[in-house]
Structure 1
């Protein structure tokens, strides 16, 4: 079988599996967040934190819950890293430095999972499991909770209540993320991923050198890192490491896991607003952008000129030989478009233009299909923008799902889409202007600039992947990237929840002959066009200095 045909069949199998679970998983998640019953273990948790899960929260109260819980998470994870040498199962590792501990705490609480360290030589068993793995669960649950709050804003009327943050957080963790992760972890263990709390082993290699091999509870963390679109690997090589990703099947499985919830949440949205077609329109827009990026990256990697590329059947530098060019491109596109950051190849080795497509995937806001929760609420905000543009074209007051999109709603949506570009461009500009970017570059010229741009794009959009050549472990970058992660995660949530509250207070408007049919392919095309044009106008100058310049010069 030719490599290209094998790649096509892999994508077909992946899309088929995602289509198969789209409806049942989406409906299950809708049932979880609409249920009035509480499991016994959930009641114990509510009593422990002093929360009443039946109390409806207005958006400022819901937001305070999100911010307070996340702030405690940052402080707790920072503390665990600073005292890990005094905790059990320390493996002899020293405390993490203050700037790196802040960066890591901000990273995992914000669902970014950017790593400026090598996990197998820096983090103890307790830090990995009690600290990082726990945040993988709850940070993902926070993202879903905010998305569900926005959906309730569309579904409800004449009320300020958006549900209860503590109930949404606990249910998302207990009823969705933990069951899926348990099943995935068992499958990964059966396929060869390791799961233990052993000591570091020192072995003699074939050349006579000594090498240390780190153990760990890898399979369990691997499962939630993908399902929760987190991305932080147990090892520095991430999913290119055979202990995390043993073979071709597990590589396919991990891609499926990082896409499964984001591609199923539009069904949850559709069920909660009572219109299946609205969900299909959203998931179709996600799928079109994802597929277009996949085709572009794969073609650019296979078609790169040069003798080495021709002999290898593609550009194999930085790619894992077990997976090949197609699977590496599939993983790279899926991870940069889902706020995951998990990698099975090094994006720094992708060609100029294909690396630019990966950058663009993050710059779009990671909404195709996006991170767990954040992809859906990002896409719905873009839908509000698209409806507003359509209303301007025909001179009619824009409306979406029976709700007017007035000046307040469009201001909130505009503030949402301006936050991450401001962080990305300001962070990149400061790094270059202050002389902090150049020393961290492995390469110079356009590719070196792309390394810096990629780092601040990844942090501000809460992705977590990196151009591996960028030396991020400095006090400046640990601090600045940590701030970008926190601001890029929680400032958008402020505007999302404010938008949800504004929508929930409105009286529904009946559809008329002039109402834009937002479940039709025409609206899906308008939505995709608005996303691409808005992002292109914002980031094209920066892309022109980096990946476009590199690609056109090669």
Structure 2
């Protein structure tokens, strides 16, 4: 392990550290501002939205669900009708179960793909369907996180947590669009393509004919990473030189994936009026993130389990090496980002197992845009509840009591993903047709199934290479896992926000548990690990751990 191999990691983390405070402060100002731009005011007039009217949590949740369901229908229609729409470039209609899966995938910020983008989607579908959802699905996650923060800081008792339509508009126009535009220009300057060309037939040096695809790649690549969406314009994803031309763009894409999820902890601290709370949440995220990063790097460089010779490069990003590949893999699996620059199925058993565990944690370190913050806040509230039980005091978090209603919402939030993953894996392993979709047999084949349902239910979107998901069973069941794995937790978060907003803050006393100190950070990390370990340890034993023992 040379210092040169670690330099891209160090440089990217340094850039994230520099951006943390200004980006976090800016997002806090966006959501606390009482001023609307001219464009925003025009949108509100057309949509007949009163920007100063705060919504009850039930109305906020209705807006989230209605907007998302309309998005599913729109993306589905684009795929089915694409041959008769502009910029079709010869593409056929996407078959119904795959169109269903893809529509849900991009609406839920999952971006799971059971197809090759350059061979299945027209340019219009890529731009008006998939790229647009990359913006608005990411914005929905941020809106929900901000609504939960408002529930924590509310001094009223009416259960109002803001206006979904205002939050959505501001997130897209003030945060995601400017950031994606800057990132797209940088990617274009480095060689990522941006055009409306159909595939071009060219003659190679050996005399063969090869089709070179075109498309609006840089613009989609920018928001797919900034919004922790994932997916890829091309089947090779972020290892394709048209998506990521060089080492600099590889680091840029990792920066884009992590900058909003990490910086939202600063936004949280500013909005609750105590930046120490933001630092505590960030610290818990970083402990889990660096624990995974170190584990995967050591596993892939052969430090944990000896590998004869140089570390294997099969399935890795050969342009950059093993460590940058591991850095990208950990960053995407610890967020809800389906982008990959290497194929996780090729990783060592322990390395691949760690990537699965990253998602099984609930993608809270730092998680997807918005989803990571509200996921870690759920862990914080659960930690407060456990601590309160141990000392015999009523649990409180930021001046709000955590009672029966609040814990029911937290419990349903936490249980949704394990039920979806374990049910999907259990049923799929019993079906006689499942082996036809696997690229491997034995423990590794089992890991492919586990990874698929884990990725879907956690709205990640990446997959073990070699897993054939384009079947009616997997398209349908993974689609429902994405749908339920996204919106049941969102409803629970918004319900919790409403319950907290109905309470008057209680003053801190000598017996109040401090939630900004290292002890509480350790408690959050421990709770996150214990919840996942107790739930998924048998599953991990049957897959990655058995495979690791086989190669020792």
Same fold (TM over 0.5): yes
Deviation of 1:409 (Å) = 0.9
Supply the distance in 2 between the matched residues of 1:407 and 1:475 (Cα, whole angstroms).
41
Where 1:546 maps in the other structure, the secondary structure is helix
Supply the distance in 1 between the matched residues of 2:432 and 2:320 (Cα, whole angstroms).
38
Q: Which residue of 1 aligns with 2:22?
A: 24
Deviation of 1:512 (Å) = 1.1
Deviation of 1:118 (Å) = 0.3
Where 1:203 maps in the other structure, the secondary structure is strand
TM-score (norm 1): 0.98
Q: In the comparison of the two structures, how many residue pairs are matched?
A: 550
TM-score (norm 2): 0.98
Is 2:466 the counterpart of 1:469? Answer: yes
Q: Which residue of 2 aligns with 1:444?
A: 441
Q: Which residue of 2 aligns with 1:158?
A: 156
Paired residues of 1:147 and 1:376 also in contact (CA < 8 A): yes
Deviation of 1:432 (Å) = 1.1
Q: Which residue of 2 aligns with 1:71?
A: 69
Which residue of 386, 389, 404 corresponds with 2:386?
A: 389
Gaps of 5+ in 1: none
Deviates more, 1:204-213 or 1:318-327: 204-213
User: After superposition, what is the alpha-carbon deviation per residue over 1:270-299, rounded to whole angstroms, capped at 9, x for unaligned?
Assistant: 000000100000001101100010000000
Which residue of 6, 10, 17 corresponds with 2:4?
A: 6
Which residue of 488, 492, 495 corresponds with 1:491?
A: 488
Supply the distance in 1 between the matched residues of 2:106 and 2:282 (Cα, whole angstroms).
27
User: After superposition, what is the alpha-carbon deviation per residue over 1:247-281, rounded to whole angstroms, capped at 9, x for unaligned?
Assistant: 00000010000000000000000000000100000
Supply the distance in 1 between the matched residues of 2:506 and 2:106 (Cα, whole angstroms).
41
Supply the distance in 2 between the matched residues of 1:462 and 1:305 (Cα, whole angstroms).
30
Supply the distance in 2 between the matched residues of 1:456 and 1:217 (Cα, whole angstroms).
30
User: After superposition, what is the alpha-carbon deviation per residue over 1:35-69, rounded to whole angstroms, capped at 9, x for unaligned?
Assistant: 11111111222223232222110111000000000
Aligned in 2, Cα 1:306/1:278: closer, same or farther, shift over 3 Å?
Answer: closer
Deviation of 1:509 (Å) = 1.2
Is 2:457 the counterpart of 1:431? Answer: no
Supply the distance in 2 between the matched residues of 1:397 and 1:12 (Cα, whole angstroms).
43
Deviation of 1:158 (Å) = 2.7
Which residue of 91, 107, 110 corresponds with 2:89?
A: 91
User: After superposition, what is the alpha-carbon deviation per residue over 1:426-448, rounded to whole angstroms, capped at 9, x for unaligned?
Assistant: 01111112234322101000000
Supply the distance in 2 between the matched residues of 1:40 and 1:464 (Cα, whole angstroms).
36
Deviation of 1:129 (Å) = 0.4
Q: Which residue of 2 aligns with 1:241?
A: 240
Task: Tell me which stretches of 4 or more aligned residues in structure 1 moved more than 4 Å.
Answer: 304-307
Q: Which residue of 2 aligns with 1:281?
A: 280
Supply the distance in 1 between the matched residues of 2:266 and 2:432 (Cα, whole angstroms).
47
Is 2:422 the counterpart of 1:418? Answer: no
Deviation of 1:463 (Å) = 0.1
Paired residues of 1:304 and 1:314 also in contact (CA < 8 A): no
Where 2:2 maps in the other structure, the secondary structure is helix
Deviation of 1:510 (Å) = 1.0
Supply the distance in 2 between the matched residues of 1:411 and 1:236 (Cα, whole angstroms).
42
Is 2:292 the counterpart of 1:293? Answer: yes
Gaps of 5+ in 2: none
Supply the distance in 2 between the matched residues of 1:368 and 1:432 (Cα, whole angstroms).
30
Paired residues of 1:364 and 1:531 also in contact (CA < 8 A): yes
Paired residues of 1:4 and 1:326 also in contact (CA < 8 A): no
Supply the distance in 2 between the matched residues of 1:27 and 1:246 (Cα, whole angstroms).
32
Deviation of 1:5 (Å) = 1.0
Supply the distance in 2 between the matched residues of 1:436 and 1:337 (Cα, whole angstroms).
31
Q: Which residue of 2 aligns with 1:80?
A: 78
Q: Which residue of 1 aligns with 2:356?
A: 359
Supply the distance in 1 between the matched residues of 2:477 and 2:194 (Cα, whole angstroms).
34
Supply the distance in 1 between the matched residues of 2:247 and 2:445 (Cα, whole angstroms).
32
RMSD: 1.2
Where 1:202 maps in the other structure, the secondary structure is strand
Is 2:343 the counterpart of 1:346? Answer: yes
Paired residues of 1:81 and 1:96 also in contact (CA < 8 A): yes
